[in-house]
Amino acid sequence: MESRDDIVLVSAVRTPFSKFDSPMKDIPSIKLGEMVIREVMNRVGLQPEEIDEVNYGSCLPAEFALETDVPGRQATLLAGFPGESISLSLDRACCSSLTAMRLGIRGIKAGELKIVMAVGSENMPRCPHLAPGMRWAARLGHLKLIDPLFYLGYDAMGFNTIAVDAGEVALEYGITREMQDEWAMRSHKLAAKAYAEGKIKVGEELMPVEIPRKKGEPLVIDKDECIRENTTMEALAKLKTVYGSPTITAGNAPPISAGSSALIVMTRQEAEKRGLEPLATIVASVCAAAEPRYICTIPAESIEKALAHTGLAIDDMDLIEINEAFAAMPLVSTKILAQDNAGKWDKLKERTNVNGGAIALGHPVGSSAARITMTLAHELKRRGGGYGAAAICGGLAQGEAVILKV
């Protein structure tokens, strides 16, 4: 039953997600963040002064370090927020933009806040190499450059790369390389179909990014750049595994992307007062974590935890979004959610990532959690409403999940 205290999502938008060598690679993530912050407010006629707090997720500090720290503070000020505005920059790896929303919801439920914005912004291709030792200059010998993108750095402190953990645990769960390739091909085909049917478009989920040029009109990017509609199993099978993983390849992994997303949440009462039509009711929003090795399983555990807050079951979910950190994640997690029942697993897979996922759409890490949330809300709406679950894993087996009702 609807209540005036329900938390509702009233506005959501994202930039297109780029390929590695896109013209977007030169736009600081802070500027991409500024763009979505302006647009998500414009869509519902809100002014910066009306937003009580902005939580801003970004998880490649080496990139925003080019503009120094506190990216959330910088992006909000650039977007016209007054000096008195409150923002928080946070990093919970790929979970960050849903963490940003959940913290906002906590503030609203505590009665401290009325309107909260959650942002996720990342420009992975812009991430520079690091040159440790330069400050004190090597007196004798070689200087080393470090690429924070390569392995995403987890090996430096002795952890496995995500690709190793995901590949090994997928095999533990009986998910073969071939199954992961099939899921990757499905992702590309479904994303291409969603575009052909006008489901992913500017004015709804997307806003365009305009890049000024020396001469003439600016370059406009208004589509995700990584969809490969003609992907075949034969081509995928030929790709070599990467990062020491037994199964992960460039084909069943998401590309390295730039992109930003933003969401605005408030109570239903506040939305009614402002005459705003909610995109979705946020029925539950939770975080979870597991042993780092089991990162593939954490979307399932997060969804189960979220469902436990609601009295709903996985069978009540009309749609599911599980971020394709790799193809292994939706496959392992839906298998767990199906409790190893083959028929149920097939049904859950059919309802999962119905418009493709990060393998095809791109995965600018800090902004993907908000992306799966808005994708779910829009698709539920297109289908006339229902319940949906969205979940994402983040480095070393962190998780976030949200249950939506439309």
Residues 265-284 that bind ligand COA (CB under 6 A): none
**Shortest approach of ligand COA to residue 231 CB, angstroms?**
4
DSSP strand pairing (209-211 vs 280-289): unpaired
**Which residue stretch of 30-38, 204-212, 254-262, 332-340 sits at the interface with ligand COA (rule: CB under 6 A)?**
254-262
Please identify which residue in 76, 87, 96, 231 interacts with ligand COA, judged by CB under 6 A: 231
Which residues between 349 and 368 bind ligand COA (CB under 6 A)? 363, 365
Q: How far is CA 128 from the centre of its chain?
A: 22
By CB under 6 A, residue 164 contacts ligand COA: no
When asked if residue 35 is in the footprint of ligand COA (CB under 6 A), the reply is no
Residue numbers 286-325 binding ligand COA by CB under 6 A = 325
The residue count for binding ligand COA (CB under 6 A) is 20
**Counting contacts by CB under 6 A, is residue 159 touching ligand COA?**
no
Whole-Å CA distances, 86 to 52, 64, 363: 7, 19, 28
The set of catalytic residues is 94, 363, 393
CA angle at 79 for the pair 76 and 85, rounded to the nearest 5°:
40
User: Is residue 251 a contact residue for ligand COA (CB under 6 A)?
Assistant: yes
Residue whose CB is less far from ligand COA, 94 or 191 = 94
Q: What is the dihedral of CA 182, 183, 188, 194, to 10 degrees?
A: 130
Where in 88-107 is the site for ligand COA (CB under 6 A)? 94
Query: What is the nearest approach in angstroms of ligand COA to the Cβ of residue 113?
Result: 30
Spatial separation of the C-alpha atoms in residues 302 and 300, rounded to whole Å: 5
Nearest Cα neighbor of 323 from 260, 263, 393, 378 is: 393
Q: Of the two residues 179 and 239, which places its CB atom closer to ligand COA in the complex?
A: 239
Residue number with CB closer to ligand COA (256 or 402): 256
Question: Cβ–Cβ contacts within 10 Å for residue 270, how many?
Answer: 18
Which C-beta is closer to ligand COA: that of 51 or that of 359? 359
Verify binding: residue 51, ligand COA, rule CB under 6 A: no
Asked if 62 is part of the footprint of ligand COA (rule: CB under 6 A), the reply reads no
What lies within 8 Å, CB to CB, of 215 at 6+ separation is none
Report the nearest approach of ligand COA to the CB of residue 189 (Å): 10
Is residue 211 a contact partner of residue 217, using CB atoms and an 8 Å limit?
A: no
Alpha-helix runs per DSSP H in 351-397: 358-361, 368-382
Does residue 369 interact with ligand COA by CB under 6 A? no
**Which is closer to ligand COA, CB of 256 or CB of 336?**
256
Answer yes or no: are the C-beta atoms of 76 and 260 closer than 8 Å.
no
Determine, following the binding rule CB under 6 A, whether residue 120 of this chain makes contact with ligand COA.
no
Q: Which is it for strands 53-57 and 86-90: parallel, antiparallel or unpaired?
A: parallel
How far apart are the C-alpha atoms of 109 and 112, rounded to whole Å? 8
Residue at 277: amino acid letter = E
**What CA–CA distance (Å, rounded) separates 127 from 235?**
29
Is 259 a binding residue for ligand COA by CB under 6 A? The answer is: no
- Rounded to a whole number of angstroms, the minimum distance from the CB of residue 358 to ligand COA is 8
Phi/psi of residue 239, each to 5°? Answer: -75, 140
Q: Are 116 and 51 in contact (CB under 8 A)?
A: yes
Is residue 328 near ligand COA by the rule CB under 6 A?
A: no
258 binds ligand COA (CB under 6 A): no
Which residues lie near ligand COA (CB under 6 A)?
Answer: 20, 94, 152, 162, 188, 228, 231, 235-236, 239, 242, 250-251, 253-256, 325, 363, 365
